[in-house]
């Protein structure tokens, strides 16, 4: 039994939805189909989710948003016309949107969740309608009816444990179930959306709940690549990788998955296959628990920008009991999370996401560190990137760090920070943002130069 999730580009138009239908019809093991909201049809197009955000914001500001509503309805109407579905499904979608706009405007976060989630919900209804019209035994299923329960945190829903027991019954369905991604319901019945990558999270949850033999994630690329194709020309394809490798690469900017999306599948040891809706015959990339890594100790290179460093220096810091705890407590008091914390005997650096900072927050942090920790020096530096080399085989391979530093030296890229986790699945190199692409290209050449079209 397979759960298949189709992303925004895969369901962006009538033509794409026809491809989805052909893929589903081709394999009777594909029993649950998780769908996103319609994405971009071409590079300058607008995603339906963005149209819905504009609709919600206009309604909150003015109390009406007829033009914005019609822009959303028009997208669905265009898809329905291309699928020869007639006007009934479009009328159903418009009525649903108007009903959502009757929600209490004094609860703006919940209202925005309700409106944004309509993208996936209404697309699932439309796709189920099309499946039925072409003779597939299919039905739309709302997450509330399926028992997908989540915490009541608008925009940041976390799945509740009982959900998985509720979803297991979907295995027994004789129909192909079309399931909207991106949202669930609180125990009180409030619709709540997941964070970024929400439809991927839904797919992973449904695969775990149904104990699927395989979770297929259909997108618009043939596989996961060893580096960003926008930075490296024709990077090699990855045939197999582990969950940990995928999570590390997702954290560092890989756009295939949000870094939390696979956790339910990972915990239930369900293999994941990344496939291309436009080329379903391609084998794609398998994401599994373990792989043979002796041939490819390094599986990928990724980079993410937007980091700042808090540099702290104090003589004999290493002998002061509780110094690190007190330093992190100051950050916690400001609501900041940290990413890395490389240290020496008399100094330490705390790497944080730059978007969390303001001038006022930085000033308060520096003032408190100076007064409470009596340091010799403290200051912020901005605009760093974290370049990450990832691979399960690195901990058994001598010389990975030496090769990485030598490659960056050749590219005249100065390394500001090096950090390797205790699992040794990844090596993180901090560089200035303007050096990011040059660093990625040189590291790719070092570890993958001369490689075939794909690696395992």
Give the residue ranges of the annotated binding site: 5-8, 49, 120, 219-220
R_g (Cα) of the chain, nearest Å: 24
Annotated binding site for ATP: 5-8, 219-220
Report yes or no: 387 and 429 within 8 Å, Cβ to Cβ.
Answer: yes
Give the whole-angstrom CA distance, residue 358 versus residue 322: 27
> Using N-to-C axis directions, what is the helix angle for 14-26 and 108-133, rounded to 10°?
60
> Using N-to-C axis directions, what is the helix angle for 108-133 and 48-62, rounded to 10°?
140
- Taking CA atoms, 342 is separated from 250, 304, 372, 396, in Å, by 22, 18, 21, 23
Give the whole-angstrom CA distance, residue 332 versus residue 167: 37
Residues 334, 335, 339, 343: is their CA dihedral positive or negative?
Answer: positive
Give the whole-angstrom CA distance, residue 267 versus residue 314: 42
At residue 300, φ and ψ (nearest 5 deg) are -170, 165
Annotated binding site for substrate: 49, 120
Give the whole-angstrom CA distance, residue 421 versus residue 441: 23
């Amino acid at each position: 039994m397979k759960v298949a999730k189709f992303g925004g580009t895969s369901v962006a138009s009538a033509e794409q939805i026809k491809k989805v239908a052909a893929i589903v019809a081709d394999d009777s093991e594909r029993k649950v189909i998780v769908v996103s909201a319609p994405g971009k049809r071409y590079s300058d197009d607008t995603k339906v989710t963005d149209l819905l955000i504009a609709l919600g914001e206009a309604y909150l500001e003015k109390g009406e948003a007829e033009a914005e509503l019609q822009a959303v309805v028009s997208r669905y109407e265009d898809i329905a016309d291309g699928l020869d579905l007639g006007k009934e499904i479009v009328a159903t979608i418009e009525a649903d949107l108007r009903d959502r706009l009757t929600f209490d405007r004094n609860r703006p976060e919940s209202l925005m969740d309700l409106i944004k989630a309509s993208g996936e919900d209404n697309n699932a209804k439309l796709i189920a309608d099309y499946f039925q019209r072409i003779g597939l035994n299919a039905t739309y299923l709302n997450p509330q009816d399926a028992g997908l329960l989540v915490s009541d945190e608008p925009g940041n829903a976390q799945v509740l444990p009982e959900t998985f027991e509720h979803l297991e019954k979907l295995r027994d369905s004789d129909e192909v179930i079309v399931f909207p991604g991106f949202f669930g319901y609180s125990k009180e019945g409030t619709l709540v959306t997941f964070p970024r990558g929400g439809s991927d999270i839904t797919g992973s949850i449904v695969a775990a709940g149904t104990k699927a033999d395989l979770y297929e994630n259909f997108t618009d690329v043939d596989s996961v690549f060893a580096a960003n194709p926008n930075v490296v020309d024709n990077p090699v394809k990855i045939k197999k990788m582990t969950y940990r490798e995928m999570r590390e690469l997702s954290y560092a900017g890989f756009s295939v998955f949000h870094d939390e999306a696979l956790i339910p599948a990972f915990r239930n040891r369900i293999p994941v296959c990344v496939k291309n809706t436009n080329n379903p015959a391609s084998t794609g990339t398998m994401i599994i628990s373990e792989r043979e890594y002796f041939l490819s100790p390094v599986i990928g290179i990724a980079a993410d920008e937007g980091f700042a460093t808090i540099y702290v220096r104090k003589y004999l810091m290493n002998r002061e009991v509780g110094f690190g705890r007190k330093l992190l407590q100051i950050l916690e008091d400001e609501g900041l999370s940290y990413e890395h914390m490389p240290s020496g005997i008399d100094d330490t650096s705390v790497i944080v996401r730059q978007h969390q900072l303001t001038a006022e927050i930085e000033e308060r942090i520096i003032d408190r560190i100076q007064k409470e920790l009596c340091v010799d020096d403290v200051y912020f530096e901005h605009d760093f990137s974290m370049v990450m080399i990832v691979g399960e085989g690195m901990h058994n391979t001598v010389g990975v760090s030496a090769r990485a530093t030598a490659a960056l030296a050749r590219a005249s890229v100065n390394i500001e920070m090096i950090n390797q986790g205790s699992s040794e699945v990844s090596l993180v190199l901090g560089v200035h943002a303007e050096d990011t692409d040059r660093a990625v290209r040189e590291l790719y050449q070092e570890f993958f130069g001369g490689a075939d079209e794909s690696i395992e």
